[in-house]
Structure 1
Amino acid sequence: MKNLHRSMDLPQILFSLMFILILIVACFWVVQPFILGFAWASMVVIATWPLMLKLQSWLWGRRSLAVVAMTLILLLVFIIPVVLLVNSLIDNSAPVIAWITSGHLQLPALTWLNDVPVIGKKLFAGYHTQVDAGGTAIMRKVQPYIGRTTGFFFAQAGHFGRFMLHLGLMLLFSVLLYWRGEQVGNGIRHFAYRLASRRGDAAVLLAGQAIRAVALGVVVTALVQGVLGGIGLAISGIPYATLLTVLMIFFCLVQLGPLLVLVPAIIWLYWSGDTTWGTVLLVWSCVVGTLDNFLRPMLIRMGADLPMILILSGVIGGLVAFGMIGLFIGPVVLAVSYRLVSAWMHEAPAPDGSPQEVIDELAEDQEELRKTF
C-alpha cells in the first residue's frame, strides 16, 4: 500500500495533540487506584525474578508451581508479619485499656518540681491544686489536644487501610507478573527502544539493576536484622517478642536500626534482676546492631554500585512523601534516577584540564569577544 505524504496544518496538529493528551489523562485517571500497587509489585518481581527462575528449575520447569511458591514466600514476608502486628496490637490493647479503666492509673506526684529554682514551688503547688480538684481543670485544658490526637489516629488508621489495599494489589499483580514476566519485560524494553533506541533499552536494564540493589540492600538487611533480633528477644524471655520483632523490622526499614527495641529490652532484663539473659542479649544486640555495616553495602553492590546516602535519603523521603509504601518506592526512584544520570554523564569524557587552566582559557575567550565587539 502506497504511503501518501500529506502536510498537516496547525489546527490539525493542535487537535491531534489535544486528543492524545486527553487520552493519556483518561488512562491515568482509570488506573490511578492501581499505580502504587503495580509499582510495588514490579519492584518485588524484578528483585526476586532470579529466585523465581531458580525455583522453576527446581520444580521440574513448571512455571505454575514456581508462581505458587513465590506467592507463598510473599505471604510469609509481607502479609503474615502485618497480620501478626495487627493481632498483637489488638490482643495487647485490651489489658492496657482494662488497667486504665480499673482506677489504677494515677497522676504522678512530681515531687522533683520542688527542686527547680525560683519557680519550682509554685509549679508544684499549682499542679497539686489541679490534681486535688479531681483533674477537671486539667482535662478542660487537655481536651482540645485529645480531639487533635484522636483525629491523628483516625488519619493513621486510614493510611493503614490504604496500605493494606496496596498490599493486596501488590500480591495480585505480583502473581500476574510472575506468570507473564518475560512478555511484560520485552514489551517495556520494546517501548523504551522505540522512544530512545539503544539508549532507552539500556535505561530499562539499568533501572532493573537499581531496583534489585535497593531490594537486596534495604529490605533483605531489615529482615535479617529484625528476625535475628526477634530470636534474641524470644530466647531471653522478653514478652511480646512477635510484636517487637515486627517493630524492629519497621525500624530497620526506615534506617533507625534494631537497637531502639533491643536496648530497652536489655535495660528491662537488668532492672528485673535477670542479669544472665541481659548479658546474653547485650552481646547478641552488638552483633545484630552492627550487622548492617557490612551486610547492606555487600548486598547493594550485588545489584548495582549505589551510594549509601542515596538509599538513606530515598527511604526517609519516600516515607514522608508516600507513607509506608514509600519505604520501597522512594529509594528505587532515586536509585534509578542516579543510574540513568550517571550513564548519561559518562557518555562524555571527564574534563582533564586543571581548574586554573580552564579559568585562564575562559578569561582569554572573554577578552577576544570584547575585542571583537
Structure 2
Amino acid sequence: MRNKREGIDFPQAIFSLIFIIIMIFSSLWIMRPFFLGFAWASMVVIATWPIFLKLRFLLWNSRVCAVITMISILLLIFIIPIFCLVNSLIDNSTSVISWLSSENLRFPDFYWLQDIPIIGEKLFLSYQKLLDEGGAELITKIQPYMGKTTEFFILQVGHFGRFVIHLILMLVFSSLLYWNGERTKNIIRHFAIRLGSNSGDSVVLLAGQAVRAVALGVVVTALVQGILGGIGLAVSGIPYSSLLMILIIIFCLVQLGPLPVLIPAIVWLYWNGNTTWGTVLLVWSCIVCVLDHILRPILIRMGADLPTVLILSGVIGGLIAFGMIGLFVGPVVLVISYRLISSWMDEIPAPSSLSKESKKHFLLKNKIKNK
C-alpha cells in the first residue's frame, strides 16, 4: 500500500486524518455547553478592551483592580437589570393576565373625536357604527386568546435558569480574558498568520474593529433609544414603563426600532382620552426614531471605517441565524468575507487599469510590426 515513488503510506495518512477529525469533533462536543458563554465573553471583552486599558492606567496600572472593576460594571449592566426585569414581570403577570381575561375589556367611547374640525363628526359616527355592527363581539372572541398568549410568554420568561447560567459563564470567561488579554490576542494572531500569513493577521484585526463597531453603533444606539423611550413612557403615565423600556431596547437591537412599543402606547393614551400626553409622546417618539438614523452611522464609523450596509446586514442576518449572539457574529463573518474577497481582487489591477495596459501593449505591438 506504500507509494514507492513518493514514499507515502496512504492508509497511515487516512487513519491519521480520521483520528484528527474525531479528536476535533470530540473536543468541540465536550466544550459545546460553554460556547455561548465564551462567545458572549469574547464579544464583550473585545468591545470594552479600550475601556479596560484606560481603567488600568487610572488604577495605578493594577490589572487586578481593573479586572475587578470591569467585572463589577458587567455585573451591574447584565445581571442585576435582568433579575429586576424577571421579578417585575412575574409580580405583575397575575394582574395582566386577569385584566386581559376579564370581561371588563371594552372599546372606549372616543367622544373627543367630535371636537376634531371638519372630519370629527364623521369619524365619530363611523366609529360608533363599527361598534354597533359587532366590534364588541370581536373583542369578546379574541379575549381568551389574548390571555392565553400572554400567559404562555410569561411562563417562557419564567424559565430563565439556562440564560442565567450563560450569563455567569460570560462573567467568568470575561475575567479570564481580561486577565490574559494580550496573551490570548497573540495566540489568535499567531494562528491567523499561520493560516493566511499577513492577510490572516489583518483579518483578525478587522474582525475586532467590526465587533467594536457593532457594540458602538448598534448596542449603544439601542440603549440610548430605550432609555429615552422609557423616559417618554414614564412621563406620559404609561403603566409598566420599565418593562416597556426593556422591550424597546430588544426591538432596537433586532433592528425593528422603538415604534412597535411606542405606537401602541400612543394609541392607548388616545384610547383613554389623554390627548395631550398622547400628542407629547407622539412628538417624543418621532425624535427617538430620527435619532437612530443620526447616531448609529456616526458610532459605527467611530468603531471601524467599514460600510454601514455591511454591518447592518450582518446584524440582521446574524440575529436570524444565530440568535442574540448573531448581533456580533454576523457582522464579523461578513467583514472577514468582505476583506478576503477584496484582498483577492486587489491582487490584479482594476478594469480601467487593465484596459490602459492592454491599449499600451496593442500600440507597442503595432509599432514593432510597422518596423
Q: TM-score range by the shorter chain?
A: 0.7 to 0.9
Structure 2 gaps of 5+ residues are 1-5, 108-127, 359-371
Partner of 1:367: none
Does the CA-based 8 Å contact 1:99-1:105 persist in structure 2? Answer: yes
What is the alpha-carbon distance in structure 2 between the residues aligned to residue 339 and residue 161 of structure 1?
39
Does the CA-based 8 Å contact 1:40-1:329 persist in structure 2? Answer: no
Does the CA-based 8 Å contact 2:211-2:328 persist in structure 1? Answer: no
The structural deviation recorded for 1:159 is: 8.5
Partner of 2:81: 81
Structure 1 residues 284 and 199, CA gap change in structure 2 (3 angstroms):
same
Does the CA-based 8 Å contact 1:210-1:339 persist in structure 2? Answer: no
Structure 1 residues 311 and 85, CA gap change in structure 2 (3 angstroms):
farther
- Aligned partner of residue 305 in structure 1, secondary structure: coil
Alignment partner of 1:54 is 2:39: no
Structure 1 residues 234 and 154, CA gap change in structure 2 (3 angstroms):
closer
Partner of 1:246: 246
Partner of 2:28: 28
1:1-373 correspondence to structure 2 within 5 Å? 7-99=7-99, 104=104, 112=130, 161-352=161-352
Does the CA-based 8 Å contact 2:209-2:304 persist in structure 1? Answer: yes
Task: State percent identity of aligned pairs.
Answer: 66
After superposition, the C-alpha distances for 1:301-346 in whole angstroms (9 at most, x for unaligned) are 1122333333333333333322333333333332333333333333
What is the alpha-carbon distance in structure 2 between the residues aligned to residue 266 and residue 42 of structure 1?
39
What is the alpha-carbon distance in structure 1 between the residues aligned to residue 97 and residue 89 of structure 2?
12
Partner of 2:112: none
After superposition, the C-alpha distances for 1:154-176 in whole angstroms (9 at most, x for unaligned) are 99559955443332222221111
How many matched pairs? 331
TM-score by length of 1: 0.76
What is the alpha-carbon distance in structure 2 between the residues aligned to residue 271 and residue 278 of structure 1?
9
Partner of 1:371: none
What is the alpha-carbon distance in structure 2 between the residues aligned to residue 274 and residue 150 of structure 1?
26
What is the alpha-carbon distance in structure 2 between the residues aligned to residue 21 and residue 7 of structure 1?
24
Does the CA-based 8 Å contact 1:248-1:261 persist in structure 2? Answer: yes
Does the CA-based 8 Å contact 1:163-1:325 persist in structure 2? Answer: no
The aligned amino acid for 1:314 is G
Structure 1 residues 277 and 98, CA gap change in structure 2 (3 angstroms):
closer
The aligned amino acid for 1:322 is F
Does the CA-based 8 Å contact 2:38-2:170 persist in structure 1? Answer: yes
What is the alpha-carbon distance in structure 2 between the residues aligned to residue 303 and residue 228 of structure 1?
23
Does the CA-based 8 Å contact 1:84-1:243 persist in structure 2? Answer: no
What is the alpha-carbon distance in structure 1 between the residues aligned to residue 12 and residue 278 of structure 2?
77
After superposition, the C-alpha distances for 1:16-49 in whole angstroms (9 at most, x for unaligned) are 2122111111111111111122122111111110
TM-score by length of 2: 0.76
What is the alpha-carbon distance in structure 2 between the residues aligned to residue 152 and residue 243 of structure 1?
17
Structure 1 residues 151 and 191, CA gap change in structure 2 (3 angstroms):
farther
Over aligned residue pairs, what C-alpha RMSD do you find? 3.8
The aligned amino acid for 1:247 is L
Does the CA-based 8 Å contact 1:211-1:335 persist in structure 2? Answer: no
